[in-house]
């Protein structure tokens, strides 16, 4: 039987759908406008451009947040592990809309605690439950990662050019995950 190559971009879509299914009802108690946890992948600039385009569409502007982004390029270290396993380093962000006039303590209470952090914890949980994709990610505390809370995410220009900044007011949690990933399936 031939091996089929897996793409982390596609497999993360499945993981994020599981996150959305598990947590959306709880998030809707806090904000009834939440339609689900959304997922995109691309460069930071591409994500910002897509958010800007969606803001201009009356339907899409409500289908943006909360958002889990996978920023590409994805680092894949092959041949380090035996078999069909590669070491991945994923740069991601969980972002959610906020108001410009919120102070840091309001952002913590109104975006991070009720929305962003529950998505983060459920993301780790869903990764740990997907042993067919990720090796050694169970239990959750085995997932090697770093996080950074970014109040006013996207406010800092990507390349020193203000044109690249996000137009929405959002807060975010940036994650760097290091995972062992099955890149082939039988």
Is-above-0.85 flag for pTM?
yes
How far apart CA 100 and CA 106 sit, in angstroms, is 11
Domain of 14, in residue numbers = 4-185
Specify the number of domains making up the chain: 1
pLDDT in tens, 164-174: 366 788 899 99
Q: For the chain, what percentages of helix, strand and coil (3-state, to nearest 5) are there?
A: 40, 30, 30
In tens digits, what is the pLDDT along the chain, a chain of 186 residues?
Answer: 556 777 889 999 999 999 999 999 999 999 999 999 999 999 988 888 888 888 787 776 667 899 999 998 766 655 555 567 778 889 999 999 998 899 999 999 999 999 999 999 999 999 999 877 887 777 788 888 999 999 988 666 555 554 436 678 889 999 999 888 887 655
């Amino acid at each position: 039987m031939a091996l089929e190559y897996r793409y982390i971009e596609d497999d993360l879509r499945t993981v994020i759908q599981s996150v959305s299914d598990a947590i959306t009802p709880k998030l809707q108690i806090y904000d009834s406008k939440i339609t689900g946890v959304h997922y995109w992948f691309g460069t930071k600039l591409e994500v910002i451009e897509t958010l800007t385009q969606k803001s201009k569409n009356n339907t899409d502007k409500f289908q943006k947040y909360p958002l889990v982004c996978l920023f590409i390029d994805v680092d894949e270290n092959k041949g380090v592990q035996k078999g069909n396993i590669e070491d991945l380093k994923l740069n991601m962000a969980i972002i959610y809309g906020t108001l410009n006039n919120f102070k840091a303590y309001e952002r913590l209470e109104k975006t991070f605690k009720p929305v962003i952090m529950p998505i983060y914890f459920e993301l780790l949980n869903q990764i740990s439950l997907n042993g067919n994709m990720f090796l050694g990610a169970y239990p959750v505390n085995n997932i090697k990662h770093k996080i950074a809370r970014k109040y006013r995410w996207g406010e800092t220009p990507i390349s020193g050019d203000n044109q690249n900044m996000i137009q929405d007011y959002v807060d975010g949690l940036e994650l760097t995950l290091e995972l062992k990933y099955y890149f082939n399936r039988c």
